[in-house]
């Protein structure tokens, strides 16, 4: 841990852009984590209305309260709103990047490693596997819709166990085997994702779903963004698996699971870091766009985008437009800078190796 910190410190001293980005992200993270403690100090946070203190410019004080960044037209303390916005952006970004990273990385690794021909099954096996996938999804949906009962939990595990058992048995039959087209199916899905207008889809899903919370926004965002991770993890895995050390590990009998998660994943990670930084930026932009447009985000939740949208109602109050936008911009800048740095680092390493 200390080692990593001192390494980051050294890099920050050498590369000014990197240092600034780390500094911005550190402040953002700390603000987000300690927002519930900070808000009471600032007079109860952004939800406190004081109509008589409407549209105060920054650095003004009324009575015993001081408004560092001024107030909006309802007299709410902008500084408190900014702190709460930092927390909302942080929760949405971390949650959606984490979900899409875990999902995308595991799927990308598997399809990159096996491809279309890695898993070979004969026709009978394939038919049974597809059928059992459909049936188990049916029972899974039943579990979600009707709640858990013996009538759906038992068949669910029964079907899976039966298929696994039968699969071993049938694989011994002398029938010609074909590859399972995992990669082909996933590629079609990625193409679909590429064609879809992300903001449009997210807006319409967010408007359709009944329960609106910041976590539902995070889940909707990760539905689209796991594919970015999966695509890059796939490409990276396909490259890494051709390396000599992987081939020799494979020939010495290392299990596929160990190979994937102990040998391929660590070597694919540097380029995944670039995507993580980029996705963080994209997700924050998306979240602030959603709250700017006022769709999907819950009404009572204050975020940077929402404050910025409020600025359009009162053009006189420049502080309402400048500060929240500045916060979004700084965080975006930090992540883009980090992505740039990771990209350069990786290119440098590649050059040394070659």
| CB-nearer residue toward other proteins: 191 or 243 | 191
Residue matched to tokens 């993580």: 276
Contact between residue 312 and residue 67 where contact means Cβ atoms under 8 Å apart: no
**Per CB under 8 A, does 318 bind other proteins?**
yes
Q: Tell me the backbone φ, ψ of residue 332, rounded to 5 degrees.
A: -60, -45
Given 59, 127, 133, 192, the residue binding other proteins (CB under 8 A): 192
| CB-nearer residue toward other proteins: 160 or 254 | 160
| Closest to 330 (Cα-Cα) out of 298, 300, 304 | 304
**Per CB under 8 A, does 308 bind other proteins?**
yes
**Per CB under 8 A, does 196 bind other proteins?**
yes
**Six-digit token string for 104:** 């995308």
Q: Is 44 left (phi over 0), alpha (psi -120 to 50) or beta?
A: left
**Per CB under 8 A, does 199 bind other proteins?**
yes
Given 55, 68, 135, 166, the residue binding other proteins (CB under 8 A): 135
**Six-digit token string for 327:** 């916060």
Given 288, 302, 338, 342, the residue binding other proteins (CB under 8 A): 288
CB of 204 to other proteins, least distance (A): 5
CB of 208 to other proteins, least distance (A): 6
**Per CB under 8 A, does 160 bind other proteins?**
no
Q: Count of CB atoms within 10 A of residue 118's CB?
A: 16
* Three-class DSSP category at 69: coil
Number of residues near other proteins (by CB under 8 A): 50
d(CA 225, CA 101): 8
**x-or-dash string of contact with other proteins, 202-241, rule CB under 8 A:** -xxx-xx-x-------------------------------
**Per CB under 8 A, does 102 bind other proteins?**
no
CB of 278 to other proteins, least distance (A): 12
**Six-digit token string for 274:** 């670039």
d(CA 27, CA 40): 19
Dmax over CA atoms of the chain, in Å, equals: 88
Given 30, 33, 41, 134, the residue binding other proteins (CB under 8 A): 134
Contact between residue 294 and residue 212 where contact means Cβ atoms under 8 Å apart: no
d(CA 182, CA 179): 9
CB of 5 to other proteins, least distance (A): 26
| CB-nearer residue toward other proteins: 113 or 278 | 278
**Per CB under 8 A, does 23 bind other proteins?**
no
Residue matched to tokens 């920054």: 58
**Per CB under 8 A, does 336 bind other proteins?**
yes
**Per CB under 8 A, does 329 bind other proteins?**
yes
Residue matched to tokens 């992505």: 339
Site stretch for other proteins (CB under 8 A), options 119-127, 162-170, 201-209, 224-232: 201-209
d(CA 264, CA 262): 6
d(CA 202, CA 216): 11
**Per CB under 8 A, does 348 bind other proteins?**
no
Binding site for other proteins (CB under 8 A): 134-135, 138, 142, 146, 151-152, 155, 188-189, 191-192, 194-201, 203-205, 207-208, 210, 281, 285, 288-289, 292-293, 295, 305, 308, 311-312, 315-316, 318, 321-322, 325, 328-329, 332-333, 336-337, 340
């Amino acid at each position: 841990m200390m080692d990593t910190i001192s390494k980051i410190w050294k890099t920050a001293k050498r590369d000014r852009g990197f240092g600034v980005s780390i500094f911005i992200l550190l402040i953002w993270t700390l603000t987000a984590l300690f927002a519930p403690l900070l808000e009471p100090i600032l007079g109860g946070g952004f939800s406190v209305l004081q109509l008589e203190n409407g549209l105060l410019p920054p650095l003004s004080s009324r009575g015993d309260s001081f408004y560092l960044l001024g107030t909006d037209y309802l007299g709410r303390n902008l500084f408190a709103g900014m702190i709460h916005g930092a927390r909302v952006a942080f929760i949405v970004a971390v949650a959606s990047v984490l979900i899409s990273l875990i999902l995308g990385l595991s799927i990308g690794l598997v399809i990159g490693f096996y491809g279309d021909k890695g898993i070979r099954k004969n026709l009978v096996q394939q038919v049974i596997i597809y059928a059992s996938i459909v049936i188990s999804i049916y029972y899974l949906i039943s579990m979600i819709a009707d709640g858990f009962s013996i009538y759906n939990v038992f068949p669910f595990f029964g079907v899976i166990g039966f298929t696994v058992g039968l699969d071993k048995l049938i694989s011994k039959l002398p029938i010609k085997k074909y590859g399972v087209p995992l990669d082909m199916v996933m590629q079609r899905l990625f193409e679909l994702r590429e064609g879809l207008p992300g903001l449009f889809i997210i807006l319409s899903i967010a408007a359709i779903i009944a329960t609106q919370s910041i976590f539902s926004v995070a889940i909707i965002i990760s539905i689209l963004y796991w594919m970015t991770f999966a695509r890059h993890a796939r490409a990276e895995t396909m490259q890494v698996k051709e390396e000599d050390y992987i081939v020799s590990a494979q020939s010495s009998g290392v299990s596929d699971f160990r190979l994937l998660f102990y040998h391929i994943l660590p070597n694919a990670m540097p380029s995944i870091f670039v995507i993580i930084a980029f996705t963080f930026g994209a997700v924050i932009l998306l979240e602030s766009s959603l709250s700017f447009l006022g769709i999907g985000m819950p009404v009572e939740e204050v975020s940077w985008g929402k404050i910025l949208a409020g600025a359009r109602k009162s053009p006189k109050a420049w502080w309402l437009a400048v500060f929240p936008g500045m916060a979004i911009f700084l965080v975006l800048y930090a992540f883009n800078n980090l992505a740039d740095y990771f990209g350069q680092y990786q290119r440098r390493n590649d050059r040394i190796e070659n």
